[in-house]
Structure 1
Amino acid sequence: MIKNSFEIIGGKPLKGEIIPQGAKNEALQVISAVLLTKEKVTISNIPDIKDVNKLIELLIALGVEVNRINDDTYTFEAANIDIEYFKTEEFRTKGGGLRGSIMIIGPLLARFGKAAIPKPGGDKIGRRRLDTHFIGLEKLGAKFVYNPETHFFNIDATHLTGTYILLDEASVTGTANIVMAASLAHGTTTLYNAACEPYLQQLCKMLNRMGANITGVGSNLLTIHGVESLGGTEHRMLPDMIEIGSFIGLAAMTGSEITIKDVHFNELGIIPSVFSRLGIKFELRGDDIYIPSQSNYEIETFIDGSILTVSDAPWPGFTPDLLSIILVTAIQAKGNVLIHQKMFESRLFFVDKLIDMGAQIILCDPHRATVIGLNNEVKLRGIEMSSPDIRAGVSLLIAALSAQGKSTIHNIDQIERGYQHIEERLKALGADIKRVNTNVG
């Protein structure tokens, strides 16, 4: 089978400016929200990545009129939705190939009272439960029927009614789906243990501009007073905090001088400080992050001298999407760090490839890995490898760019699900990377 792969000649410092794309995780929410109104919605700073483009294609197939104004700006008009499309084989294929397709359920139930969704796909990083979505929507009055033969969920929500909901986990996408459904439900919904990530805040602010009545935005207690209908609006997405963190790690691992432009620093939470604890220096220049070239960076210890632990947690804790980046960045640091991935039990399984490159990593169990920093005394070596998921793929790409010799990364479709035009943007910094066709398998 012929596959696209990246061929990288590593060990070269990079230099220059890079602009982060629009936030992937926000895009999947706010683009789905256009289904809540028949009026025109304009969204800018949309990233040109596969997961987002697949969602837009799915909306077009549903009957949404979509116009691309420029590279990152689209208008959406969901005046004529084909509800029967849910029953087609084409919908099963399009919806099943995109985990983000779950985000259309809340808006469709709110506006049309019914929907269907094939069991979504996505990363192979362990179990990713949809229970939070379904339980929350059921409490609003939706009825789910799963057909194990067709792998379809059929949902009826003729009468959505506001209620008190205590989420079993602070799921970002689960919170978003419930908020969108509740925005047009009868009565008031109180949503406790809600996710409060900046992307969720962006969705709530967009919905309020459309005429929704949502209070408590930015906290874990949201109150949604249902309204009769929503109108159009204009919305600009935040830069992708995961890309920003990835570029910080890239600069450190390759000893590069990089400026990350227009980062919306106040929306990054503790991300910059976690990279600081790895010893990475940076300056905030206006709203740009400037990272100087560093030959060494030293991991802090805790106050009592014990090994630093970096773990994921719901916002404002550290995002799980950056733990893979922290892990790979620590490889060339001075000192040790324990990476604790609490949410997904398979997300650390890519470390075997890093070990093959010469990294000193002990995989303690599916959730924890200890990185023993090489302090740039030993360089990684280039190898042939394959990307298992988006974040691991970029981590391997960072490792390859820092390594001596040639690396080949297969399955780069995974990387391109989340990072737009990554090859061209890295080349602009001086990276030796090219796309090649390889025969895999």
Structure 2
Amino acid sequence: MGSFTIEGGHSLSGSITPQGAKNEALQILCAVLLTAEPVEISNIPDIVDVNKLIALLGSLGVKVENLGPGQYRFQADQVDLDYLQSDDFKRDGRGLRGSIMLVGPLLGRFGRGYIPKPGGDKIGRRRLDTHFEGFIKLGARFRYNREEYFYGVEAEKLTGTYMLLDEASVTGTANIVMAAVLAEGETTIYNAACEPYLQQLCKMLVRMGAKIEGIGSNLLKIQGVSSLNGTTHRMLPDMIEIGSWIGLAAMTRSELRIKDVSWNDLGQIPNAFQRLGIQVNRENDDILIPAHTDGYAIQNFIDGSIMTIADAPWPGLTPDLLSIILVVAIQSRGEVVIHQKMFESRLFFVDKLIDMGAKIILCDPHRATVIGHDFQSQLKATNMTSPDIRAGVSLLIAALSAKGTSTIHNIEQIDRGYERIDERLRNIGAMITRNA
């Protein structure tokens, strides 16, 4: 188990370019299974979860060619469906949350898709009902082996239908869309997710020959086609990483430039940090965060009540950023309630921040109140363990702002979502060392 040693309290400077979007990659890479023709994808992040999925596609028989940094060509013209029943697949698929995204394209193109219960972050229940209920409505038969935690769907053919999703699940919507593009007739998906990464998937499928209306809305209409073609696709920058760098700059009172952020796809993210009093300045397609030498003050609501920052489906604030916003609030001037609606275990890492001197009241599994220090006292360095990707980066930001030398263990969790994070942080002045 690796670790980071972090000497905190140093000001950072320079520019940093966000990696390609992890959550988009997990959808886009699975979509290559929908065609026998080559698909070229660029700006793929070099991170553990994405590399595991690429390896899984290779094991499934997809031809994988690395064309250069972050650029691959895939061709799924000789898919080995027998691999889906193998012990290797049951082992490898279980270690990756994104493996669930294989089911939709496999079902749509080959009439069957299987998956072991996926792993991933331990942040609370992440049910799969939306995915499989959608497949069933398209005409698939569902089966589940409770002893092996193994799911399967099969169909002689899929038929378009109307469905109202029980939740606006991003991965659920993406999976259903990938199955529906090859179904017979029209599929209407109401209460569909409409995040930028889902829009990216739909636009890529349209370039491949799919017929999708309503992209960017919560009502999608899909006219099934018999086959899809190859295409090229470039992934968006990772909005969660962009938010991480905004938070890092504020907590370390550093001036940082975040380059090529695709501002129009950031939604509520700049506004959420501005509510904490952080200046988020747009310069063309870059974000410039000035050094907050005088600190930053949390806004109140217009009636004077305490600010609450909560996650919501797009165009609301992504839940993946709430851990980072919570950490940034530690040095704010004022108080804020962080309301994590989606996952009931995601705020449990705050005990580590409290050990560092943060003033945080964990109200219940979904809510925490943060009372800001206003930089009147500095967090204390400590030893800690990363419980998941986003909490791990939040603890890293806290350590970089703290007095003294901290150690973070289980950094494999951070590597799942952030590309060469220690090297990139050293390039802007961070004192961070990776230990094997």
Asked if 1:347 is matched to 2:346, the reply is: yes
**Aligned match of 1:253:** 251
**Aligned match of 1:360:** 359
Asked if 1:242 is matched to 2:245, the reply is: no
Which residue type is aligned with residue 38 of structure 1? Answer: A
Residue aligned with 1:361, SS: strand
Query: Over residues 260-304 of structure 1, what are the superposed CA-to-partner deviations in whole Å (9 max), with x where a residue is unaligned?
Result: 000000110111011011011132111000111012000000001
**Is the CA contact (8 Å cut-off) linking 2:273 and 2:280 kept in structure 1?**
no
> In the aligned structure 1, how far is the partner of 2:4 from the partner of 2:156?
49
Residues 264-275 of structure 1: pairs in structure 2 closer than 5 A:
264-275=262-273
TM-score, structure 2 normalization: 0.99
Asked if 1:102 is matched to 2:131, the reply is: no
**Aligned match of 2:406:** 407
> In the aligned structure 1, how far is the partner of 2:152 from the partner of 2:193?
26
> In the aligned structure 1, how far is the partner of 2:182 from the partner of 2:77?
16
**Aligned match of 1:389:** 388
Which residue type is aligned with residue 149 of structure 1? Answer: E
Residues 124-163 of structure 1: pairs in structure 2 closer than 5 A:
124-163=122-161
Task: Report how many aligned residue pairs link the two structures.
Answer: 435
**Is the CA contact (8 Å cut-off) linking 2:379 and 2:402 kept in structure 1?**
yes
- Unaligned 5+ segments in structure 2 are none
> In the aligned structure 2, how far is the partner of 1:156 from the partner of 1:197?
28
Residue aligned with 1:231, SS: coil
**Aligned match of 1:75:** 73
Q: Please report how far the alpha carbon of residue 143 of structure 1 lies from its aligned counterpart in structure 2 after TM superposition.
A: 1.1
**Aligned match of 1:35:** 33
**Aligned match of 1:233:** 231
Residue aligned with 2:229, SS: coil
Residues 82-121 of structure 1: pairs in structure 2 closer than 5 A:
82-121=80-119
> In the aligned structure 2, how far is the partner of 1:157 from the partner of 1:350?
43
> In the aligned structure 2, how far is the partner of 1:184 from the partner of 1:154?
18
Which residue type is aligned with residue 290 of structure 1? Answer: L
**Aligned match of 2:301:** 302
TM-score, structure 1 normalization: 0.98
Query: Over residues 173-211 of structure 1, what are the superposed CA-to-partner deviations in whole Å (9 max), with x where a residue is unaligned?
Result: 000000000000000000000000000000000000000
Residue aligned with 1:184, SS: coil
Which residue type is aligned with residue 383 of structure 1? Answer: T
**Is the CA contact (8 Å cut-off) linking 2:49 and 2:96 kept in structure 1?**
yes
Percent identical across equivalent pairs? 69
> In the aligned structure 2, how far is the partner of 1:224 from the partner of 1:359?
49
Which residue type is aligned with residue 215 of structure 1? Answer: E
**Aligned match of 2:335:** 336
> In the aligned structure 1, how far is the partner of 2:386 from the partner of 2:219?
38
> In the aligned structure 1, how far is the partner of 2:280 from the partner of 2:85?
52
Query: Over residues 356-406 of structure 1, what are the superposed CA-to-partner deviations in whole Å (9 max), with x where a residue is unaligned?
Result: 000000000000000000000000000000000000000000000000001
> In the aligned structure 1, how far is the partner of 2:89 from the partner of 2:315?
36
Q: CA RMSD in A?
A: 0.5
Q: Please report how far the alpha carbon of residue 154 of structure 1 lies from its aligned counterpart in structure 2 after TM superposition.
A: 2.3
> In the aligned structure 2, how far is the partner of 1:116 from the partner of 1:311?
35
**Aligned match of 2:397:** 398
> In the aligned structure 2, how far is the partner of 1:192 from the partner of 1:210?
23
- Unaligned 5+ segments in structure 1 are none
Query: Over residues 23-45 of structure 1, what are the superposed CA-to-partner deviations in whole Å (9 max), with x where a residue is unaligned?
Result: 00000001000000000000000
Greater CA drift, 281-290 or 341-350: 281-290
Query: Over residues 74-98 of structure 1, what are the superposed CA-to-partner deviations in whole Å (9 max), with x where a residue is unaligned?
Result: 0000000001001111101110000
Residue aligned with 2:337, SS: strand
